[in-house]
Amino acid sequence: MRGGGGSPLEERVDEKEKEVEPPGLKEFPHWATDFDFEMIDKDGKRKKKPLGSGLWSDVYRALPTLPKPQSPSAVSPPSTTAALVDLGLPKGADASLTPPLTPVKSRTSSLSKVIQNTPAPTAYAIKVPASRSAKQVLYAEAEILSHLSRFPEAETYVVPFYGLDMRTGALVLKAMDCTLDSWISTSLNTLPEPARAARLAEIFPTLALTLIKGLEWMNSKGCIHADIKPSNVLFPTTSTSPVYTDFSSATLTHPTPSQESKPPTPLGGGTWDFLAPALVAKSSKESPATPTLETDVWSLAITLLYVIIGQSPFDCAGSNVYRRREMVKQGVPLSYTAYGDDGPRNLKRLDMLSKELGVDLKKWFAGALDASGEMQVDVKRWREELEGAKGRSGEVKM
C-alpha cells in the first residue's frame, strides 16, 4: 500500500502503544534453583547432550535441580559488578540492571519464593558462549530477552527465558521439541504428496498467523529480530504454537551500552536466503545495513514460503554461493520458486494450498516480497488477508 503519509508499516502500530523502556537484566537465580547438564555416551565418553550450535554459542539440554551446595560467602546472590567484570562486559553495562530477582534474607526464603513464582520447565536449553567475545553477544541477547519476557504475553511469541547465568554468561531457556526447520524435514517433507498437502492445509493458517502476530508484538515492544528463519522458530513441548528464538542479532529501539559495544553479528547469522535484498545489497563492514520491521517481514515471508514448498526458493542455485547471493539481491524469490528440477513441484504445492485455503498465496506473498523492498500492504492488512483462511482443524497440531 503506497502513497500518503508515513510508511504503512509505521502506521500499523500506534506509537503510544510502543513500550521501549531500557531493559533490566533478568538473572538466573542459581542460588535458589539450579540445573545439571543431561549427559550422553558418545565416542566412549560422557558428553553434554547438544541441542544445537551457532557462531556464538553451543546449546545443551539440562534438567532442573535443587541448588548446589555453596560456601557461606556464596549464600547471597553474587555481586553483579564482579560478575560483569568476569563476563568481560563494557563499562556501563550494569547501568540497566535490576536488583536480584529474589529476597536474600536466607537461603530458605529465597528458594521457596523462586520455586513458587518461577516454576521450572521439564528441561532447560542452556546457551553457552563459545568465546569471550561471545559472552558480550549473549549478554546483549539476555537484555533483549529480559525486556521482552517482562510482558505477560511474551511466552506466546518468544522462547521462555529464565535469566542469564552470571557464573558462566550462559542463557537459560526452555527446551522445546524441535525447530521449524527440523519439523519440515522430518515430519512434513517425509509425507506422500497428498498427505503432505492435507497436513499443510491443516496447520498453515494458524502457524503463519501466530508468527505474524508475534512479529507485530515484538515490534510494538521496540524489538527488531533481524534473523528470522526456520531454524530460529521453535515448537514448545506443552503447546502447539511456534515461538521465536535466537535474538543474538536483534536490536532495540533504545539500545543499551552493552548492545552498542557488542561484536558485530553477521547479517542473518550468515544465512543469505532469508535476508531482505536491501540488507544483502547495501551491507558492508564499513557501512552495515540496518535491519528494520520491513526486513523482518521479508524474512518471515521467505520462512513461510519455505514451509509450503519444503525448501528455500533459492535452492535452484545449488552449492554456488555467489550465484545464490546474487539471486537474493534481485528480490524476486517467487520467480525462483519455479526454477530448477523442483520448480514444477514447488508451484503445485503453492497452488494446492491456495485452493484448499481459498487464498491466492502467490498474490499474498507478493504483498510482502516486492522487488522494490517495500511492502505493498501493511503488516496488519497482510495478516488479515490470511485470517479468512481456515485449515481443516483450525489449529496447529505438530
Domain limits for position 253: 178-387
pLDDT in tens, the chain (398 residues): 444 444 445 444 444 444 445 458 999 999 999 999 999 998 889 999 999 988 889 999 999 999 988 755 444 555 554 555 455 565 555 444 433 333 333 344 433 343 445 688 999 999 999 988 899 999 999 999 999 999 999 999 999 999 999 999 999 999 998 999 999 999 999 999 999 999 999 999 999 999 999 999 999 999 999 999 999 999 765 555 899 999 999 999 877 666 666 666 666 556 789 999 988 876 555 556 789 999 999 999 999 999 999 999 999 998 898 999 999 999 999 999 999 999 999 999 999 999 999 999 999 999 999 877 666 678 998 999 998 775 544 444 44
Q: What is the pLDDT of residue 165?
A: 98
Check whether residue 290 and residue 371 sit in a common domain.
yes
In a domain, 170, yes or no: yes
In a domain, 184, yes or no: yes
Q: What is the pLDDT of residue 306?
A: 98
DSSP 8-state assignment for residue 22: P
Check whether residue 131 and residue 68 sit in a common domain.
yes
Check whether residue 218 and residue 341 sit in a common domain.
yes
**Distance of alpha carbon 290 from alpha carbon 250, whole angstroms:** 11
Check whether residue 268 and residue 328 sit in a common domain.
yes
Check whether residue 375 and residue 235 sit in a common domain.
yes
**Distance of alpha carbon 274 from alpha carbon 294, whole angstroms:** 13
In a domain, 19, yes or no: no
In a domain, 9, yes or no: no
Check whether residue 131 and residue 273 sit in a common domain.
no
In a domain, 363, yes or no: yes
On the 0-12 / 13-18 / 19+ scale of CB atoms within 10 A, 381 is middle
CB 135 within 8 A of CB 89: yes
Last residue of a domain, one of 174, 203, 229: 174
Last residue of a domain, one of 174, 204, 227: 174
Q: What is the pLDDT of residue 289?
A: 79
Check whether residue 68 and residue 170 sit in a common domain.
yes
Last residue of a domain, one of 159, 174, 189: 174
Q: What is the pLDDT of residue 67?
A: 93
Query: For residue 289, what is its C-alpha cell?
Result: 545495513
- Number of compact structural domains in the chain: 2
Q: What is the pLDDT of residue 119?
A: 80
In a domain, 202, yes or no: yes
Check whether residue 343 and residue 216 sit in a common domain.
yes
| Vertex 214: Cα angle to 213 and 215 (nearest 5) | 90
Q: What is the pLDDT of residue 51?
A: 94
Check whether residue 58 and residue 150 sit in a common domain.
yes
* Residue 116, number of CB atoms within 10 A of its CB: 8
Check whether residue 162 and residue 250 sit in a common domain.
no
Q: What is the pLDDT of residue 259?
A: 64
* Residue 181, number of CB atoms within 10 A of its CB: 16
Query: For residue 90, what is its C-alpha cell?
Result: 563494557
In a domain, 281, yes or no: yes
CB 353 within 8 A of CB 208: no
In a domain, 109, yes or no: yes
Check whether residue 148 and residue 203 sit in a common domain.
no
Check whether residue 62 and residue 182 sit in a common domain.
no
**357: domain CATH number?**
1.10.510.10
